[in-house]
């Protein structure tokens, strides 16, 4: 009995060492992929929208209907990798953080990943990879460029430990010396209960990596040449970030093709072309975030914006004497003058036919009509004994009173407030102006007042009254002619 004690102690210590080295195993001896998906959708992914992509074999191995019945979110998308087409889905489904992408594969998904890499749209923020077959080289899958687009990534891989199947979790730290495959431990639905627990931060820092800038040192004050190097506000900001995240960078003085960065004939040029084709990591020059650039590249929120302004010298006030004409528009002035001339001629031409004594002074008749325009009192005397004359002149003078009253009231405003020429306030005003030579501003011709003058539509009532007066005078004239003929 004494000789067996050391052997028993050694055996006990060896058993304790093996137990300590073995990762904790879930209570279930066989943990199926279907059970893992159920734990995910009812645990850390509860309430999240899910985009599930599977190949043909994994679709048979997993009861997707049972998994769907446990998803609490109303937004669930399922697609077969063999029939998947990027054009069938809006960019919000396959890009950003709206959906958690879950990819199941029983064979190597390299062909499918190569198809996804052909488009710049695919870039889900959260990506889960579930390997259904232990013979798949998951290191190659995780290190694929299209997989590395996702900010948060976790790979589930099934392992056999002590005759029990468990799932181990892996992720990728792109800048870590250990490579793209890092172990997170075994899956446990008791310890991993939230998205934060499920998805580790893949970029705690950049591990001293060197970033190659797609830059052009000709963008003051963002980045520009100073001495033998480049300086600027963006480089100052990037230096602070580099110190915090532990990385360095190399600046590019100019692009190879001497272009800024645009989509031409389906290919990117300039700095954006360097990002796409020449292995550059970051562009920090000034860019307008249009639809094509937003669709093809990731960009941070704009921290600096600039605009264009147009400066013009304030025009001098218009001459004071021109205020007398600003009360009415040009068209209204023309109508008033024409109406006065027409009424004067008609009144002077019709008077001789109905005067029984002496001759008619045409100048006097014209003065009778024009007197109403200037609001002067006129004695009709013997010339106004015909009723139609009185009606005609009465309506005319009433219309003139309305016009002169409106002119007087509006004139007060123009005499009180100085009138300036029209100012350029918008780009449309600039395009409509006569300014063309390299934005060299010249004096703007006086075209119209900035204050609203009375137009024809404002005095429609006065002209209607005048028209009614003419009709009434015509009727009375016909009646007098009828009575004169009977006599």
What are the angstrom distances between the C-alpha of 304 and each of 222, 228, 240, 288, 289?
9, 26, 17, 11, 12
Q: Distance between CA 476 and CA 487 in Å, rounded?
A: 16
Q: What are the structure tokens assigned to 484, written together?
A: 């004169």
Could you check whether the bond before residue 105 is cis, i.e. omega within 30 degrees of 0?
A: no
Is the domain defined by 26-198 classed in CATH 3.40.30? no
Measured at the alpha carbon of residue 49, what is the angle toward residues 194 and 106, in degrees to the nearest 5?
Answer: 85
β-sheet bridge partners, residue 183: 170
**Residue 285: what pLDDT?**
92
Tell whether the torsion through CA atoms of 311, 317, 319 and 322 is positive or negative: positive
Tell me the pLDDT of the chain (487 aa) as tens digits: 334 444 333 333 333 333 344 444 444 445 688 888 889 988 999 888 899 999 988 877 787 777 777 777 668 888 999 999 888 888 888 888 889 999 999 999 999 999 999 988 899 999 999 998 888 999 999 999 999 999 999 999 988 777 777 899 999 998 887 777 899 999 998 999 999 999 999 988 888 889 999 999 999 889 999 999 999 999 999 999 999 999 999 999 999 999 999 999 999 999 999 999 999 999 999 998 888 898 888 888 887 777 767 777 777 777 777 777 777 888 888 888 888 888 777 777 766 554 545 555 667 777 777 776 776 666 655 554 566 677 777 777 788 888 888 888 888 877 777 766 777 777 788 778 776 654 443 334 433 434 444 454 555 565 666 667 667 767 766 666 666 666 5
Q: Give the pLDDT score at 136.
A: 92
Looking at the DSSP bridge assignments, the partners of residue 226 are 229
Give the whole-angstrom CA distance, residue 443 versus residue 224.
Answer: 38
Tracing tokens 């499920």 back to the chain, one arrives at: 198
Instruction: Indicate the CATH number of 209-296 among 3.40.190.10, 1.20.810.10, 3.40.50.880, 3.30.70.260.
Output: 3.40.190.10
- Tell me the two tokens of residue 141: 């899958």
Q: Are 371 and 378 in contact (CB under 8 A)?
A: yes
**Three-state SS letters, the chain:** CCCHHHHHHHHHHHHHHHHHHCCCCCCCCECCHHHHHHHHHHCCCCCCCEEEEECHHHHHHCCHHHHHHCCCCCCEEEEEHHHCCHHHCCHHHHEEEEEEEEEEECCCCHHHHHHHHCCCCCEEEEEEEEECCCCCCHHHHHCCCCCCCCCEEEEEEEEEECCEEEEEEEECCCCCCCCCCEEEEECCCCCCCCHHHHCCCCCCCCCCEEEEECCCCEECCCEEEECCEEECHHHHHHHHHHHHHCEEEECCCCCCCCCCCCEECCEECHHHHHHHHCCCCECCCCCCCCHHHHHHCCCCCCCCCCCCCCCCCCCCCCCHHHHHHCCECHHHHHHHHHHHHHHHHHHHHHHHHHCCCCCCCHHHHHHHHHHHHCCCCCCCHHHHCCHHHHHHHHHHHHHHHHHHHHHHHHHHHHHHCCCCCCCCCCHHHHHHCCCCCCCCCCCCCCCCCCCCCECHHHHHHHHHHHHHHHHHHHHHHHHHHHHHHHC
Q: Of 114, 104, 107, whose CA–CA distance to 54 is shortest?
A: 104
Q: Are the CB atoms for 201 and 171 separated by under 8 Å?
A: no
Token pair listed for 420: 């300036």
C-alpha span between 300 and 32 (Å, rounded): 40
Question: What is the C-alpha to C-alpha distance for residues 464 and 415, in angstroms, rounded to an integer?
Answer: 29
Please tell me the total number of residues recorded for the chain in this structure.
487
């Amino acid at each position: 009995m004494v000789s067996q004690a050391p052997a028993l102690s050694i055996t006990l210590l060896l058993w304790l060492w093996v137990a300590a080295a073995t990762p904790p195993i879930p209570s279930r001896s066989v943990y199926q992929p279907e059970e893992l998906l159920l734990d995910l959708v009812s645990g850390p992914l509860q309430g999240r929208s899910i985009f599930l992509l599977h190949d043909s074999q994994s679709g048979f191995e997993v009861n997707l209907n049972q998994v769907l019945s446990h998803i609490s979110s109303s937004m669930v998308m399922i697609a077969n990798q063999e029939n998947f087409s990027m054009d069938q889905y809006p960019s919000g489904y396959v890009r950003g953080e709206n959906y958690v992408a879950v990819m199941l594969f029983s064979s190597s998904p390299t062909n499918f990943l190569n198809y996804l890499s052909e488009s710049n749209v695919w870039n889900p923020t959260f990506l889960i990879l579930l390997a259904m077959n232990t013979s798949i080289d998951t290191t190659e899958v995780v290190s694929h460029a299209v997989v590395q687009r996702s900010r948060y990534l976790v790979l589930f891989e099934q392992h056999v430990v002590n005759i029990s199947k468990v799932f181990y979790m892996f992720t990728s730290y792109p800048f870590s010396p250990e490579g793209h495959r890092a172990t997170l431990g075994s899956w446990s639905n008791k310890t991993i209960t939230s998205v934060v627990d499920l998805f580790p931060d893949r970029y705690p820092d950049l591990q001293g990596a060197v970033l190659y800038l797609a830059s052009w040192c000709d963008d003051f004050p963002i980045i520009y040449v100073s001495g033998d190097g480049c300086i600027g506000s963006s480089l100052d900001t990037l230096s602070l970030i580099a110190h915090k995240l532990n990385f360095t960078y190399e600046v590019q003085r100019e692009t190879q093709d001497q272009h800024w960065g645009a989509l031409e004939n389906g290919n990117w040029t300039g700095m954006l072309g360097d990002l796409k084709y020449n292995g550059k990591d970051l562009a920090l020059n000034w860019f307008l975030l249009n639809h094509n650039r937003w669709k093809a590249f990731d960009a941070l929120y704009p921290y600096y914006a600039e605009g264009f302004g147009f400066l013009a010298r304030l025009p001098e006030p218009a001459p004071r004497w021109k205020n007398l004409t600003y009360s009415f528009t040009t068209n209204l002035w023309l109508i008033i003058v024409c109406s006065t001339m027409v009424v004067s001629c008609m009144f002077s031409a019709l008077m001789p036919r109905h005067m029984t004594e002496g001759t008619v002074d045409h100048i006097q008749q014209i003065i009778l009509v024009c007197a109403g325009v200037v609001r002067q009192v006129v004695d009709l005397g013997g010339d106004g004994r015909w009723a139609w004359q009185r009606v005609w002149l009465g309506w005319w003078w009433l219309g003139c009173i309305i016009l002169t009253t409106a002119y007087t009231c509006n004139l007060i405003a123009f005499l009180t407030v100085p009138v300036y020429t029209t100012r350029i306030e918008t780009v449309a005003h600039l395009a409509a102006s006569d300014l063309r030579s390299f934005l060299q501003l010249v004096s703007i011709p006086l075209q119209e007042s900035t204050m609203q003058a009375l137009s024809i539509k404002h005095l429609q009532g006065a002209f209607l009254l005048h028209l009614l007066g003419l009709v009434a005078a015509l009727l009375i004239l016909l009646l007098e002619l009828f009575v004169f003929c009977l006599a």
